[in-house]
């Protein structure tokens, strides 16, 4: 039986409910009375149920789809404005004991170079990332208790936070590691992580088990219930996602929203972020072996409907996608973007031996400065802000600020100040000139006059060499 508050994976991600939802959406996809009712509810900007969202996703009426895209743009602007948060992945190790059929880290792969960074190598990688201008990292590692135990991850986090290089400093470390225990999540929380991220890959249990034939990740229930344990361990901010292309996209779209609803109902706060990666080739992985790939058009609509259905959650897109696709989905709902990324272990430091250890091929190869420049041209504010995490505004405290609209008096000035830091310390001349113009215009949009005045004061101090102001 479907139970949104249950702690059991097969009850809060209920196969029957998903199939009924898909069937319902196909039946009513062009029912204008129902669709207009759903859109009117969506305009309240408080979200939609998984069934309502699926009706919108399934709808193929051109005029309605334009309304959906316009509403997604409106919601994105209301909650996130022009801000785009920047981050980069940092791969610590690609040793893995799982047999995942879509990932080149799987244990049977004998062609990929296996590598694990030492703490000294991590220091060099982090300094290289700091020299780009990054302040926020997402740690990645394969699942291997011998080569990459939790103690190694905890030591690496301590190393990263301890590196102060020139004006550089990593201020938020998000962690994407395998499902683990409540006790281990408590240790990650104590280490000061930002968001705990774990992709479900697919919510279809039978296909999940086929895609993960061996290793600890084969256990569907343990993996799917990981976010519950993470939140029980004190981690306020969790990030979910599926790997579109592994399974039927309709099924995973519904499962993703049911997972978000479950966390809200059972733990009091939904996901901090939702990621929407698509499968990509790498090493011995050929995407032609997977028949559920989705077109750019479907992908863009998924992003738009997710933004409408879960208006408060951050949405992440990586360099898996091309610059053209990334540009189109930015206005439809994406709020976080990776830049200058490497998906290999030891890929950032210029003197590191370049070895074949990528997890997937990237499509957007531009440097961070080129991406910042591009975002500025598009009218966005590239933000390196980590203030909410560092001020304890996480979990339900963060969501209350978002839902009340008060976040604009916090995120807008923090985004502008961290952009100013980037311009002063790392930007090319062209990027710097564009950034100064954007800051001048966006400063006017801060609604609170006192906050606006204080932001102006801090921006002047940043020009004088001071750093790390935040609201």
Mode of pairing for the β-strands spanning 164-165 and 168-169 = antiparallel
Q: Which superfamily, per CATH, for 78-365?
A: Aldolase class I (3.20.20.70)
The answer to whether 419 touches 435, Cβ cutoff 8 Å, is: yes
pLDDT in tens, 434-458: 999 999 999 998 988 999 999 999 9
Give the CA radius of gyration of the chain: 21
pLDDT of residue 204: 98
pLDDT of residue 395: 84
Mode of pairing for the β-strands spanning 164-165 and 381-383 = unpaired
Exposure string (b/e) for 307-335, b if CB count within 10 Å is 16 or more?
bbbbbbbbbbbbbbbeeebbebbbbbbbb
- Quick check: 199 pLDDT over 90? yes
- Quick check: 207 pLDDT over 80? yes
pLDDT in tens, 50-70: 999 999 999 999 999 999 999
- pLDDT band at residue 422, thresholds of 50, 70 and 90? very high
pLDDT of residue 400: 82
**CA-to-CA distance for 400 and 269, rounded, in angstroms?**
10
- Quick check: 314 pLDDT over 70? yes
pLDDT of residue 283: 79
pLDDT mean across residues, the chain: 95
Mean pLDDT of all residues in 315-343: 96
**Element spanning 91, H or E:** strand 83-93
pLDDT of residue 354: 66
Domain boundaries along the sequence of the chain? 78-365, 388-463
pLDDT of residue 356: 73
pTM of the model: 0.95
- Quick check: 360 pLDDT over 90? no
- pLDDT band at residue 324, thresholds of 50, 70 and 90? very high
Mean pLDDT of all residues in 201-212: 97
How many CA atoms lie less than 13 Å away from 96 in the CB half-sphere? Answer: 31
Q: Torsion angle of alpha carbons 95, 98, 99, 102, nearest 10°?
A: -70
- Quick check: 45 pLDDT over 90? yes
Mean pLDDT of all residues in 115-142: 97
pLDDT in tens, 242-266: 999 999 999 999 999 999 999 999 9
pLDDT in tens, 267-304: 999 999 999 999 888 877 888 888 889 999 999 999 99
pLDDT of residue 92: 97
Where would I find the H helices in 115-204?
A: 119-132, 150-161, 182-190
pLDDT of residue 373: 98
**Element spanning 333, H or E:** none
Q: Please give the sequence-ordered ranges of beta strands (E in DSSP) within 352-457, or none if there are none.
A: 381-383
The answer to whether 332 touches 352, Cβ cutoff 8 Å, is: no
pLDDT > 90 fraction of the chain, expressed in percent and rounded? 87
- Quick check: 205 pLDDT over 90? yes
pLDDT of residue 352: 65
């Amino acid at each position: 039986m479907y139970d949104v508050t249950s702690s059991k994976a097969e009850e809060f991600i209920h196969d029957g409910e998903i199939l009924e939802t898909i069937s319902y959406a196909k039946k009513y996809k062009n029912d204008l009375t129902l669709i207009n009712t759903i859109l009117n509810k969506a305009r309240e900007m408080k979200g939609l149920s998984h069934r309502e969202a699926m009706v919108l996703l399934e709808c193929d009426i051109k005029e309605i789809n334009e309304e959906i895209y316009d509403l997604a743009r409106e919601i994105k602007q209301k909650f996130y404005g022009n801000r785009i948060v920047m981050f980069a992945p940092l791969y610590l190790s690609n040793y893995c004991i799982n047999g995942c059929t879509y990932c080149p880290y799987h244990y049977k792969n004998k062609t990929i170079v296996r590598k694990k960074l030492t703490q000294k190598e991590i220091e060099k990688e982090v300094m290289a990332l700091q020299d780009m201008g990054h302040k926020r990292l997402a740690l990645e590692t394969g699942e291997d208790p011998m080569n990459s135990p939790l103690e190694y991850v905890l030591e690496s986090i301590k190393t990263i936070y301890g590196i102060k290089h020139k004006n550089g400093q990593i201020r938020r470390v998000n962690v994407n590691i395998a499902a683990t225990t409540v006790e281990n999540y408590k240790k990650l929380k104590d280490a000061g992580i930002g968001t705990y991220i774990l992709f479900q890959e697919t919510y279809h249990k039978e296909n999940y088990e086929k895609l993960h034939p061996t290793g600890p990740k084969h256990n569907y229930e343990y993996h799917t219930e990981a976010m519950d344990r993470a939140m029980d361990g004190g981690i306020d901010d969790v990030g979910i996602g599926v790997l579109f292309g592994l399974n039927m996209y309709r099924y995973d779209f519904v499962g993703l929203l049911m997972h978000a609803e479950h966390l809200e109902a059972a733990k009091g706060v939904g996901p901090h972020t939702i990621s929407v990666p698509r499968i990509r080739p790498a090493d011995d992985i050929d995407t032609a072996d997977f028949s559920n790939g989705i077109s750019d058009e479907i992908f863009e609509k998924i992003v738009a409907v997710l933004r409408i259905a879960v208006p408060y959650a951050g949405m992440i897109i990586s360099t898996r996608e091309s610059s053209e696709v990334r540009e189109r989905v930015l206005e439809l709902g994406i709020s976080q973007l990776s830049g200058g990324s490497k998906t290999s272990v030891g890929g950032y430091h210029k003197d590191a031996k370049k070895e074949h250890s990528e997890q997937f091929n990237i499509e957007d190869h531009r440097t961070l400065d080129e991406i910042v420049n591009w975002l500025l041209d598009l009218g966005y504010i590239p933000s390196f802000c980590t203030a909410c995490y560092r001020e304890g505004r996480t979990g339900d405290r963060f969501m209350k600020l978002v839902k009340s609209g008060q976040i604009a008096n916090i995120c807008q000035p923090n985004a502008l100040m961290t952009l100013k830091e980037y311009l002063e310390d790392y930007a090319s001349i062209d990027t710097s000139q564009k950034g100064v113009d954007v800051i001048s215009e966006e400063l006017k949009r801060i609604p609170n006059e006192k906050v606006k005045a204080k932001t102006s004061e801090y921006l002047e101090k940043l020009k004088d060499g001071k750093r790390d102001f935040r609201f």
